Amino acid sequence: MKPSSATAQANPNIAFIKYWGNRDNALRLPVNGSISMNLDGLFTRTTVSFNSAKTDSLTINSTPVTGKGLERVSYILDIVRKMADINERAEVTSENNFPAGAGIASSAAAFAALAVAASKAAGLNLSEPELSVLARRGSGSASRSIPAGFVEWQMGKDEADSYAFSIAPAAHWNLADCVAIVNASHKKTGSTEGHAIAGTSPLQEARVADAPRRIEICRNAILNKDFEAFANIIEHDSDMMHSVMMTSKPPLMYWQAATLEIFHQVREWRASGLPVGYTVDAGANVHVLCLGEYKAEVEKRLREIPGVSNVLVAGVGGAAKVV
Ligand code: DP6
């Protein structure tokens, strides 16, 4: 095979049942399964070109990246080179169409796009589960940005078995994610460091033991389009993950005052008939899920809350793909 070039695109995703903690940090084998939806309209587009250069190179949004960022990309390229039996180094260029610090984790879309582009450029023809496994090695949540729509990542028995698959296509349920951006003053601890200390919280064991129950409820709520059950389980799961975060060593407190204010408002809105529910990742921003027809109303209400600096709105997205 002659190594060449390929471009791929992937959406970020928002987790409804969260991934928090690994049973193997190097392989990113999670301690529990998770469920998410891809975010339509937001994407990372990545080109991988194998060439005769001496080292791999990485450019993100026109800025050259070295050090840890490049190492994490080379780690995936090394796996691909081994699978394809090639030695060429690669030039990787990547663009996000959503602003950094917009409250959307970029690593999921980034490593999903990288897995698809790098394997294609190396001449490999990987199946969806194989692409999901490859993306997972770069960032756990990236495994879920490979398949389309509503996605479940099974923890799996072993390395090859821990991948994500679609449980329903994007068109199955018209949901919207209204992301309320809350200004966080301090620098937050990244998820990779967070996963590594999840086990130091005495609450993690209970959270993990109960995960199959939450997955089942969430999957059924999505399949049955039962919004009330969906809202209750995503809030419950998010609160459980943050309870673990807050009680780990060192403690991780991601919420700001406005985060909590949004929780109260969302629950009041739901009690008075508006179909909304919240979930929060490793940050202060609040993802407010609603039925698609209410997204303009939810966006308007969120913008009125003091401490909310912006609101991004996304529908349900498709699979990662070669472009
Ligand atoms: C809180 O996938 O970002 O968003 O594998 O270290 O890159 P790494 O972690 P990452 O963790 C995501 C954590 C989360 C919950 C989730 O998306 O399931």
Angle at 68 (CA atoms; ends 64, 70), nearest 5 degrees: 45
Can you tell me which atom of ligand 1 is nearest the CA of 195? 6
Mutate to test the pocket of ligand 1, among 18, 141, 188, 218 (most ligand atoms within 8 A of CB): 141
Output the DSSP codes for 100-158: TTSSS-HHHHHHHHHHHHHHHHTT----HHHHHHHHHHH-GGGGGGSS-SEEEE---SS
Q: Which one, of 231, 247, 313, 242, lies nearest residue 283 by Cα?
A: 242
- Looking at residue 105, what is its pLDDT? 75
- The protein residue whose alpha carbon is closest to atom 11 in ligand 1 is 191
Q: Is the CB of 49 under 6 A from ligand 1?
A: no
Name the pLDDT band for 84 (thresholds 50, 70, 90): very high
Cis peptide before 12 (omega within 30 of 0): no
Mean pLDDT of 265-270: 98
Q: What is the pLDDT of residues 55-78, one digit of tens each?
A: 999 999 999 999 999 999 999 999
For residue 57, give both structure tokens.
Answer: 């190179």
Long-range contacts: 221-227, Cβ < 8 Å, 24+?
Answer: 222/16, 222/35, 222/150, 222/167, 222/168, 222/172, 222/173, 223/167, 223/168, 225/172, 225/173, 227/275, 227/277, 227/291
- CB contact at 8 A, 309 and 185: no
Q: Is the CB of 195 under 6 A from ligand 1?
A: yes
Q: What is the pLDDT of residues 277-313, one digit of tens each?
A: 999 999 999 999 999 999 999 999 999 999 999 999 9
Query: Residues in the chain, how many?
Result: 323
Alpha helices in the chain (DSSP H): 67-84, 106-121, 128-138, 191-197, 204-209, 211-223, 227-246, 257-271, 295-303
> What is the percentage of the chain residues whose pLDDT exceeds 70?
97
C-alpha 3 to ligand 1 mean position (Å): 32
Mutate to test the pocket of ligand 1, among 71, 114, 191 (most ligand atoms within 8 A of CB): 191
Give the integer Cα–Cα distance in Å for 124 and 221: 37
Q: Is the CB of 28 under 6 A from ligand 1?
A: yes
For residue 113, give both structure tokens.
Answer: 């796009």
Q: Is the CB of 232 under 6 A from ligand 1?
A: no
Mean pLDDT of 97-101: 77
Question: Which residue is listed with tokens 């809030």?
Answer: 235
Give the integer Cα–Cα distance in Å for 37 and 56: 32
- The protein residue whose alpha carbon is closest to atom 7 in ligand 1 is 139
pLDDT at 3 over 70: no
Mutate to test the pocket of ligand 1, among 11, 19, 132, 248 (most ligand atoms within 8 A of CB): 19
- Looking at residue 58, what is its pLDDT? 98
Q: List % helix, strand, coil for the chain (3-state, nearest 5).
A: 40, 25, 35
* Structural domains of the chain, with CATH: 5-171 (3.30.230.10), 174-314 (3.30.70.890)
Q: What is the mean pLDDT of the chain?
A: 96
Give the integer Cα–Cα distance in Å for 302 and 286: 10
Give the integer Cα–Cα distance in Å for 119 and 8: 10
Mean pLDDT of 224-236: 98
Mean pLDDT of 166-193: 90
Can you tell me which atom of ligand 1 is nearest the CA of 34? 18
Predicted TM-score of the model (pTM): 0.97
C-alpha 86 to ligand 1 mean position (Å): 30
Q: What is the pLDDT of residues 128-140, one digit of tens each?
A: 999 999 999 999 9
